[in-house]
């Protein structure tokens, strides 16, 4: 789906910047979007919000931590201040919006508008985004492949939500846990694959940029549109998990700023924080 969408966009004359900011970024977040919206429409808010929180844990904890253990990851000031700053601001804004344990349709619109403004700002200022762009030429088969990819994502998202609910009920655990673990990790596979490929090509900035960008799209675009379609409510203990998410994001940004790279020791800290957040959710 990502490759076909990129080639179609290229065929219509869109630049790599626009393709990276829109087509590729949205396409790699398609699983989170499909699952979160599907769960929201089925009135399963714990899976909707838990999926985004779990994806955050997996992207900025497990994936980034593992990559930093086995490869050098340099952090550019532009990425840290631009994307990292917006990431911290977004998590704090989510805490404020969820203070009453509900993300309303109006608040969802605000989140989505922030994402649109962010993309417009990057395009106007010619700011590149750290995303891989497929370089192959367009062929007729890209059109059916694109629609086939979209159909598979939508259908599998529905199966994933239904199966997650059934698993939670069978084992007597909360839907939040399923959303934070199985669903969150499962929908982060495109980001994981992109980061691994980027590291293998020695494009280290793409790894960190892809993960930060994905979390921005998840929190602003995915949660924003899901809340617009159906308000999302959470439990008090789930709100505490959001507080932990905000704290871990702040710690991560401070670690990135420390020496403009993530050391192996800091990678262990990042992974430990992610595991702690998972353990907290399991216990409470």
Extract the tokens encoding 147: 């629609």
Nearest CA to 252 out of 54, 75, 55, 72 is that of 75
Write the pLDDT tens digit of every residue in 99-142: 999 999 999 999 999 999 988 887 777 665 555 555 677 787 88
Instruction: Give one DSSP letter per residue of 50-110, joined into a string.
Output: HHHHHHHHIIIIIIHHHHHHHS-EE--HHIIIIIIHHHHHHHHHHHHHGGGSEE-HHHHHH
Q: What is the pLDDT of residue 24?
A: 65
Query: Does the pLDDT at position 186 exceed 90?
Result: no
Q: How confident is the model at residue 256 (pLDDT cuts 50, 70, 90)?
A: confident
The candidate with the shortest Cα–Cα distance to 76, out of 169, 176, 207, is 207
Comparing CA positions, the residue from 254, 251, 212, 264 lying closest to residue 72 is 264
Residue 19 has pLDDT above 70, yes or no: no
List residues bridging with 74 in a β-sheet. Answer: 261
**What's the pLDDT at 282?**
78
- 200 or 40: which carries more pLDDT confidence? 40
For the chain, domains (ranges, CATH) are 2-131+140-283 (1.20.1420.30)
Return the biggest CA–CA distance within the chain: 52
Mean pLDDT, to the nearest integer, of 2-10?
74
Q: What is the pLDDT of residue 8?
A: 76
Per-residue pLDDT band for 90 (boundaries 50, 70, 90) equals very high
Q: Which pLDDT score is estimated for 23?
A: 66
Percent of the chain clearing pLDDT 90 (strictly above): 11
255 contact partners, CB below 8 Å, separation of at least 6: 262, 266, 269, 270
């Amino acid at each position: 789906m990502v490759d076909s969408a990129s080639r179609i966009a290229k065929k219509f004359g869109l630049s790599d910047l626009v393709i990276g900011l829109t087509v590729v970024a949205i396409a790699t977040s398609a699983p989170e979007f499909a699952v979160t919206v599907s769960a929201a429409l089925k009135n399963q808010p714990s899976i909707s919000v838990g999926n985004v929180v779990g994806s955050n844990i997996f992207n900025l904890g497990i994936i980034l931590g593992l990559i930093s253990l086995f490869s050098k990851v340099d952090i550019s000031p532009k990425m840290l201040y631009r994307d990292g700053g917006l990431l911290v601001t977004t998590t704090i804004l989510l805490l404020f919006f969820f203070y009453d344990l509900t993300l309303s349709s109006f608040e969802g619109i605000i989140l989505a508008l922030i994402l649109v403004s962010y993309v417009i700002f990057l395009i106007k200022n010619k700011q590149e985004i750290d995303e891989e762009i497929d370089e192959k030429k367009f062929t007729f088969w890209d059109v059916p492949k694109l629609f086939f990819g979209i159909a598979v994502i939508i259908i599998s998202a529905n199966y994933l939500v239904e199966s997650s609910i059934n698993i939670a009920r069978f084992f007597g655990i909360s839907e939040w846990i399923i959303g934070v673990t199985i669903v969150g990790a499962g929908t982060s596979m495109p980001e994981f694959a992109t980061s691994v490929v980027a590291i293998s090509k020695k494009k280290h900035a793409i790894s960190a940029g892809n993960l930060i960008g994905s979390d921005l799209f998840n929190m602003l675009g995915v949660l924003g549109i899901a809340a617009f379609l159906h308000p999302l409510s959470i439990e008090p203990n789930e709100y505490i998990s959001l507080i932990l998410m905000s704290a871990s994001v702040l710690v991560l940004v401070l670690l990135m700023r420390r020496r403009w790279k993530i050391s192996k020791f800091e990678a262990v800290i990042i992974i430990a924080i992610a595991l702690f957040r998972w353990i907290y959710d399991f216990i409470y």
